[in-house]
Structure 1
Amino acid sequence: MIEERFDAIVVGAGMAGNAAALTMAKRGMKVLQLERGEYSGSKNVQTAILDAHIVEQLIPDFREDAPLERRLVEQRFWLMDSRSHIGLRYRFNDCNDERPNRYIVIRALFDKWFSWKVREAGATVLYQTTVTELAQNRRGRVIGVRTDRQDGIIHADVVVLAEGVNGLLGTRAGWRERPTPDQVALQVKEMHILPRKTIEARFNLKRDEGVVIEAAGTISRGMTGIGFIYANRECISLGVGCLVSDLQRTGETPYGVLDRFKRYPSVEPLINGSELKEYSAHLIPKRGYNTIPQLYGKGWVVVGDAAELDNTSHCGRLNVAMISGRIAAEAIFRAKSRGGRSTSNSFSLYKKMLNESYEDLKKYKDMPALMHTQPDNFLLTHPQLVSKAIQNFARIGGRPKAGEEKSDSKSFGDVWSWTGLFGDGFRLPRAWR
């Protein structure tokens, strides 16, 4: 039994939990981190984009030994119909700097390295340990946790909940509702092994350059969802993500959607001849800024996916998680530095600092409602119509013939009214502002 008392207990060893534990340990706090997996990252095989300046705030010299796949030099966006895609490329001007700002990482490797940095900073980390209950005193203040490893309470001044989107501790305590199917997306992914030179040739890359492709359109069959492709060092991560409620409504299976995506003419050549290494699934929050739950209380704070902090318009969920973990830790340290027992008001600084850091969450707060209520328009109807118009233009090599122009106009009118089309065009920038 652990008899000693801790300044803080962190539940979870993902990006948010590691950031919180590392920040507090570096400031001399006595920290215990509990992770139910075999090791940090053992249950996470995602690939993600890492923002270097966010990691530098935690580990300034991370480039020296962090498991970085490739520096991200280009992002591509595909709008797809059933047989073709319209593409947009953006190449970063700072991609060739001595200290690039974006990297592609495989979470299983990066999280394990991150956890090692937490232990190196002085925190106590226990793996294969499940927190079964939050211990509270008669006044409702959290005073520690109970685990499946021992009887009794492990005491702490504050508990940081970094348990993920489907964590049960916060819901059991009544601090947040369990996410409903329309508030979470199920992301499924495969990892395809290919020689490094083959990947670089297929994606037109040099040395350690990396590319990420995001695809939307008919691949999700009218469901709210996207496809993604990451060019890693010696493998390609490929997957799709859709709202769970849409999967239930349509009867589509995640692996069925993924299988169709792999067979698209634009995708299949990229993974042709590869060896399939693994298949995985992961729930991610999709509520947005308007539905962020309670973030702190008497003796507790919540961070990362457990706080449903997700930038719905960018692929930076792990970066948002790290920011929330670091800010929560800084707020806890400041509260402790003032002396005395911390109260719920002591952690109000966490929310204030979070609001100042997450301008993008506010800026795109209306995007989920727009995309979730009208996915057919943006992800099925419009991609087909735009693709048909471009096909007609490209086939004649110049100005469309009168008959073809009428055909395109009729197509728009047949599947979607002009009022609806202009309505979507008006609502999209309003949700984006």
Structure 2
Amino acid sequence: MAEEKFDAIIVGGGIAGTIASYLLAKEGLEVLLVERGNFAGSKNVSGGRIYSHSLEKIFPNFAQEAPVERKIVREKISLMTESSSVTLDFYSDALGKQGSDAYSVLRSVFDQWLAEKAEEAGVQIITGIRVDDLIMRDGKVCGVIAGGDELEANVTILADGVNSTLAQKIGLRGELAPNQVSVGAKEVIELPGNVINDRFNCRDGEGSSWLFAGVPSGGRIGGGFLYTNKESISMGIVCTLSDLVNSEKTVPQLLEDFKQHPIIEPLIKGGKIVEYSGHLVPEGGLEMVPKLVGDGVLVVGDAAGFCINVGYAVRGMDLAVTSAECAAKAVLAAKEEQDYSEASLNAYRANLDGSYLMKDLHLFKKLPHFMENTPRIFNGYPQMVADILNDMFVVSGQPATPPMKTAFKHVRKIGITNLIMDGLRGARSI
């Protein structure tokens, strides 16, 4: 293998890397994918939800074959305090329409299916091998060094996750800033499918996405998440790294407290933990996107910082698919011209700019700063809303207070000016 030169080498067997390899091999290129885990998906962690629109373009009707868990037809968002939760619950058949639907997935299973598709297309996949370095000649990436072997390629695609040391080594990006990433901790809790249906008011094959703000992240930037699978629940928390230094609790303790919350505990009662994992999550939005192209090299997926968190939705997997597709198109064009220079491969950036991906990142580019500079979103406002509703719904036999007066009493604790200014800044950030 050391003497063979590939058209493309992809580093990382997550969604972005596997899709890129599949698209290139399908067009007849000699492609090698190197994954450091024992199998594709073994090192990949996410909340567990994929929006289908981007993958539908590559595998039409993929959900009929792929090992998806449940179609998400119910969206929930909760503001959570230590002892209460205020929840918006949205159900709609429109959430399940093909092309705009979303599914819960277990990455260790789903990514293996993608890898099988890549192998069927002709991709050579080697697992359990770490890429230690890149082969550099006259400033151009000419392949990888892995397992003591030098493997050469016309182009190398870095899909090695948010903490891409390879992109850093060749100067495509610097050190990650603590405010640009979150630490995520996740558990998969096994429960019978009929129990999940009953507890989450679901039908077979349908499920819920549930996001939480407030105490799950200790009142700091971040939150909790919960997704229903066929016979398990994926749940966890994410906390911005820069905020964790001031936290009185560790991430494992925050996760355990989240599980013991009076809203959550009945939902997972009797369940068995079958998986525990932790991961860095890109949170910086457009600001953390590195230089994406060099001579002989492209950066895709989480390694490129492609993630959008707007509070009511978290997107990463659909962006990974689209970035892989844009990269593959650029590599195919470069092969046709036999030019793998940065100037030629910049077609990747042009493809991204023409897609929804960069348009959405630009739309929400101010949102990370807004959340970072408005901690009341994660501490003051959940408590304010809970206090207002507590006064409205608790009947103690005391004379009732006009609802507006009740609400104003708690709004004053936040400050009317703060409330107005936060609203204006939030609107401007999107």
Specify if TM > 0.5.
yes
Tell me whether 1:349 sits opposite 2:325 in the alignment.
Answer: no
CA distance in 2, matches of 1:37, 1:185: 22
Match of 1:285 among 275, 282, 287: 282
Query: Which of 419, 424, 427 matches 1:426?
Result: 424
Higher mean C-alpha deviation, range 87-96 or range 249-258: 87-96
What is the rounded CA distance, in whole Å, between the counterparts of 2:392 and 2:410 in structure 1? 15
Partner of 1:55: 55
- Aligned-pair CA distance for 1:180: 2.4
Where does 1:143-222 land on structure 2 (aligned, <5 Å)?
143-148=142-147, 150-151=148-149, 153-222=150-219
Q: Is the partner of 1:156 in helix, strand or coil?
A: strand
Residue by residue over 1:266-325, the C-alpha shift from the partner in whole angstroms, topping out at 9 and shown as x without a partner, is: 111100111122221111111111331100011100001111111122322111111101
1:231 and 2:223 equivalent?
no
Q: Deviations over 1:55-75 (max 9, x none)?
A: 122222423431111111111
- Number of residue-to-residue matches in the alignment: 424
What corresponds to 1:319 in structure 2? 318
1:331 to 2:340 alignment: no
- How far apart are the structure 1 equivalents of 2:70 and 2:180? 32
1:381 aligns to 2:380 (yes or no): yes
Tell me the SS of whatever aligns to 1:419: helix
Give secondary structure in 2 for the equivalent of 1:57: helix
Secondary structure class of the residue paired with 2:93: coil
Please list every run of 5 or more consecutive structure 1 residues that lacks an aligned counterpart in the other structure: none
Secondary structure (helix, strand or coil) at the match of 2:88 reads strand
Contact 1:71 1:100 in 2 (8 A): no
Counterpart in the other structure of 2:73: 73
Does the Cα contact within 8 Å between 1:189 and 1:279 map onto a contact in 2?
yes
TM-score when normalising by structure 1: 0.93
- Kindly indicate whether residue 355 of structure 2 is the aligned counterpart of residue 395 of structure 1: no
Question: Structure 1: which amino acid aligns with 2:53?
Answer: H
TM-score by length of 2: 0.94
RMSD: 1.9
Post-superposition CA distance 1:231-252 (Å, at most 9, x none): 1111111111011121112242
Aligned residues of 2:388 and 2:410 also touching (Cα < 8 A): no
Q: Which digits, 9 at most, give the CA deviation of each residue in 1:203-244, with x for residues without a partner?
A: 111111111111112332221011011111111111110111
Which of 337, 340, 364 is 2:338 aligned to?
340
The offset of 1:47, in angstroms, is 4.2
Tell me the alpha carbon deviations over residues 131-181 of structure 1, each in whole angstroms, 9 at most, x when there is no partner. 1111111x2011111112x34x21111100001011211111121012122
Aligned equivalents of 1:61, 1:413: Cα separation in 2: 52
1:299 is matched with 296
Shifted more, 304-313 versus 52-61: the winner is 52-61
Query: What is the rounded CA distance, in whole Å, between the counterparts of 1:286 and 1:99 in structure 2?
Result: 26
1:264 to 261, 265, 268: 261
**1:354 Cα shift?**
0.9
Counterpart in 2 of 1:363?
363
Change (3 A) 1:182 1:206: same
Q: Which amino acid aligns with 1:374?
A: T
Match of 1:113 in 2: 113
Alpha-carbon distance between aligned partners in 1 of 2:402 and 2:65, rounded to the nearest angstrom? 62
User: Aligned residues: percent identity?
Assistant: 36
